[in-house]
Amino acid sequence: MKTLILTLLLSFNFSFAQTKDETEIRKVMEEFMQCIKTRDEAKFASLFQDPVLWTGIYNDRTQAKRLEKNPKAEYYFTDDYKAFIRGFKDNKSEEKFDNIKIIEDGAVASANFDYSFWYDGKMENWGKEIWTLMKIHGIWKITSVTFSMDLTEYFPQPSLKERTKKQ
């Protein structure tokens, strides 16, 4: 009987752990990942609200390794979501998210998570990614994407357990 009560309490708590908006934001995240796999440019573009800030920065240790190979290697870069999705020439690319934290108030939100980017079944880079979103006419749209990056050729991604024990 105690097990049944505990199970009911836990499932009750988890069923209300996410707001409707958080669930919708997670759906945007799933669609983002799916669009990369399928190279669906039209669907991908529908996830954004222009203007969109898209910036990435190499973590210091990866940048140091990059500078060894190319002393002029840029530390950070800007791009845009249209060029990003157009850059996929085949269906071998995939981005995965975990360790997701969403903060929202029904109008604006941030999604902070760990990502890993894969090509042909091999992880190429990984880091932290932060999105800002706005709810426009009842639909969550991404307004900025900012991320850090480590290259797996220099630094493998730690396990989820290792990444979350710091928090």
Instruction: Provide block-wise average pLDDT over 10 residues at a time, the chain (167 residues).
Output: 42 61 98 96 97 97 97 95 92 96 97 97 98 98 98 97 83
Strand order of the β-sheet with 48-58 is 76-79, 48-58, 139-151, 122-136, 108-119, 93-104
pLDDT score at 89: 86
Return the structure tokens found at 106.
């029904």
- For 122-151, letters b (16+ CB in 10 Å) and e give eeebbbbbebbbebeeeebbbbbbbbbbbb
Report which of 162, 129, 134 is spatially closest to residue 146, judged by C-alpha positions: 129
